Structures are given as structure tokens and as C-alpha cells.
Structure 1
Amino acid sequence: MDRLISFEVFPSNTQDDFTKLVATIQELAKLNPAFISVTCSNNNQTIDQITIKVANYIKNELGIETIAHLPAAYLSKAQVKRTIENLTRLGIYHVLALRGDTLPNLKPVHDFLYASDLIIYIKTIAPEFSISGACYPEVHPDSPNRISDIQALKLKCDVGCDSLISQLFFDNDLFYEFIERCQLAGIDVPILAGIMPIVNRKQAIRLVQTTKTNLPRKFLAILEKYEHNPKALGEAGLAYAVDQIVDLLTQGVGGVHLYTMNNANVAEHIYQQTGALFATASCFGQEK
């Protein structure tokens, strides 16, 4: 079975940052990924103007498959339809369908209450599209329990989600338990493991303060021991991510989606350490 590696990048609204992102994407493309996904915020202009612009560059300038994120909590059906039409004109037929985070000071549009609603709508207006979905090995923050979380995930797959990309995690055993729950529930689409290398103190602090993911003792020890040693923290964080990836692929996981934080050097280092474990790039989902 092929083992795929893919990358996630996130655009910003400034031309200077876009130029830097293009340079990053060019370096990532040299690693022959299965695809590069492009995130977006809940700002409606971002998906129309920035995310699609970056996805177009990846697909049509570099010849790399791409997935455009589509978080629809603040999008109307008309806006989603326009986005799908724009992507189609560019030859991009793959989206990551998300509800997206809701903001405390901004009321959602309510055309799509859940990701499954968005998937149903896209499959109705553009059945040729491939749709990836997000999954949460440690349960979605809004789910009351594991059972309802798996039920919601099964619904997403039943209504047209072709593949899943996991939220970041640092405990592989929890991911394996999640895979078993998916299998028992009859979820049989490809699932990629989302890995985020932690290579600096700012990242580490944000992670500890905001994430609900389990932080294993080994990982916490790295953060504590090297908190004030940037070089050591970076090297230890990369080594931890490499160990995770080697273990995941050895245990038969179908692929790894690397949250690059727009850092090509991190991706290159990890690929140098693990590249032989991956197959040559192939399309994840449908290609038109």
C-alpha cells in the first residue's frame, strides 16, 4: 500500500507574505508531495481571493495536486457555489469541507450548521468534486462524547466525504485507538495522520495554552527541558515528529499530512529522515 506525504500551508493577506509563501511552496514541491492543502480563515474574502490564488499557483504553475479548505460557518450557499465554480474554472476539483471555527462576536450564517451539510450541498451542485473532511482522534471539542463524534464522522462519509485528514496529535496510541473506532463504525475511507512538528518556544506555549490534545510525558519533558534553549528545542521537536512518523508508517497508516506552519526547512528535514518510507507522489482523491 502506498504511503503518502502531503503538506498544509496557510496564506495571509499581504503581498509580501504571499511572495514568501510562494518561495516556501516551491521548496515543498521539490519533496514530491501527494498534494498541498491551503487553509483559509472565516473571512469570506480570504477563500475567494487568497486561498484560491494560492491553490491555483500550486496546481497550475507547479503541477502539484491541491486541496482548498472551505470552512462554511460564515458562508452562504451562493458563496460556496461561486467558490466551487471558481475552482472548477482553474481545474481544481478537491476541497476540504469544514464547518470552521465560530467566533464569539460574529454570528454564523447558518446555511451550513455542520460539515455534513456542506458536503451534501457540494455533492449536489458538483458531484465530480472530491471532498476531504477533518477528523479528531481525541474527539471534536464540540462533541459530547466519543460515540456521537464517531456517528457524526460516519455521517460525513456516508453523504460524500471521500477521505479524512486528522487534527494534529502527539500520542500515536490515541490515533490507533481512533482508527479502530472508525473501522468498527464502518468508516472505510482513507485517513491521513496530521502531524505538527513543534520547533520553537512560541509554538510550544500556544500549544499548551490552547490545545486540548493529549501531551505525552515524553513530549512534555522536551518542552520543559529545552524551553530556554531554542536550538535544542527545535532539534528535539523535529526528532519527536520523525519518531511519530516512523511509528505511524510502520504500523500501516496510509499517509502523513504535515502541518508545515509555512516552514519549508522543517518539512525538508523530516523528509530527509523519512522520505524512503513514502511512495512516489500520487493523487489523493479524484483528478479531473
Structure 2
Amino acid sequence: MMVKLDPAPLINSVYYSDARVRALHGLGIGFWSFANLRVDRTRELLDGCDDLLMVIGASGNRLVSHRGREQAVGAGEAILMATAETATMTYPSASRLISLRLPRKALTPLVPNPEDALMRPLRPSSEALRLLTRYVRDIDDLYRSAGAELQRLIVSHVIDLAALVIGASRDGEAVAEKRGLAAARLAAVKADVGARIGECSLSLAAVARRLKITPRQIQRLFAGEGTTFSEFVLDQRLVRAHGLLIESQRSGRSISTIAFEAGFGDLSYFNRTFRRRYGATPSDIRTAPRRF
């Protein structure tokens, strides 16, 4: 599905290999874990495909041999290879990586000469690489819940981010930033908010600082969806509170405790916004959840 490989232990000892592969509308995504392994792509295993393979280090180290060159790829680093040519990768110790099989015909409108980037370290720890890694890790949940049109859009976002990592042309960069980069930034903002929704200190400035983008950029991302950062945070807190209220039938937690756990610092504001959102009071939900 991804690429034909011949793995073997690097030394005569215990080895480990695990792979999870996805094929999505021409895009291949692989999540790999290796230890004490040598992986060869020999001439006999070449399949005539001229796609490009991006390898992103998640943890540990690996040595890549391709086109007569060797390159170490550490965590947070990436390298590009051609699937039409032989390659060898060695993993002396525990190592996790992500691989992307990128269709050349989808990539070249954004990166006219991707061959120039083969076996060249790709912008380590750049924003595009960080966002690409995060977006790909979440892609299973995104992709399974999406319709066919949205699935194709998700794939185009990955291609956009990969193009920015490789080095897009000026026109390609403009397209990729407006499309894939914006989508990945918004997904990262929403994930950060979701992870910290119970913190009263959650703020636009704090999220922007953690993600290394400006508050204005975040505001523009939500404006593109017809909403605001504050409205999104409020809605997520109300959803969190709603779930906690239903659970409180078993836990016995008070409404004020639930409001605090959902990130609300003002109980009257919580009650008011909750009733507007659900057409019922928090007490109504807790005592008769099936009615609401």
C-alpha cells in the first residue's frame, strides 16, 4: 500500500517492527516503530511509481541511504526520497517515524522541482513541519468522520503542508498557506483549547504563545468560519459542562463544581449562557437528561 520493503534485523539480536498504513485518495500515510532493524528497498522491489516519500522522525534516530548519500534523521527532522529509486534505512535503537507517500502530480503545481530537495534535510522544527506532523497524527479521526468531498480536502491540506516543508514556489506558497496551512493552524488551535478547556486562564494570547503564532492570525482563522475565538471557547465549555452534568447523577458533584471544572469562573454567567445554549437550566439537565 505504501512502499515495498525488505526488513531484517540489523544485528543478530531481538528486533521490533510495527506499522500502521493508510491509503487516502492517492496519498499514503504510514506510522512506523522499529528497533534493531535494517529496511531495504531493492531494485527488485521497485514498482514503477515515481511518487515522493517524506520521512518524518517522531522519536529516536535513523540513518537513510539514498542516491549514493547518507543522512541521519532525528526527531523533529524530515527528509525526502524518490520511490522510483533504491534506498536503505537503519534503526539501531527504538525509533518512531511517520512516512508520507506524496503523489508527484499533486505536489508539482506547488513545488515545480521537488527533485532538488531529495536527501536534503527539510526545514527541521519549522512551523509547517510541526503542523504537518500534528495534522497527520489526527487524520484518522478527521478522515473517518468526513464525507468524500471533505476527505479530498483533507488530503489536499496534507499536500499543501508537505509542499511548504519541501519548499514551495512563491505562487505555490501563497496557495498552500491560504488552504492547508490555515486549516492545520485552526485544527491546532482547537486541539489546544480542547486540552485546556477547564482552565480559567485559557486565553487567546496564551494559545497564540504556545503555538507560536499571533493572536490576530487566530482571530482571522475563526473569522473564516463565521465565529470568534471567544465564541468557540464558550461553546466548548458549555459542551463540557453538559457532559459533566449528566455524569454528575453518579458522581454527586455540585453544579458550581461542574461549572468550575468546565472553565467558568462566574456561576451566574454560566447559568445564563447554559440556558441560552440548551434551552434548559443545569439542574434540568442533571435531573432529567433524556428530556434535553
How does the TM-score come out when normalised to structure 2? 0.29
Larger radius of gyration: 2
Greater per-residue strand proportion: 2
How does the TM-score come out when normalised to structure 1? 0.29
Flag the structure with more relative contact order, 1 or 2, with Cα contacts below 8 A and sequence separation at least 6: 1
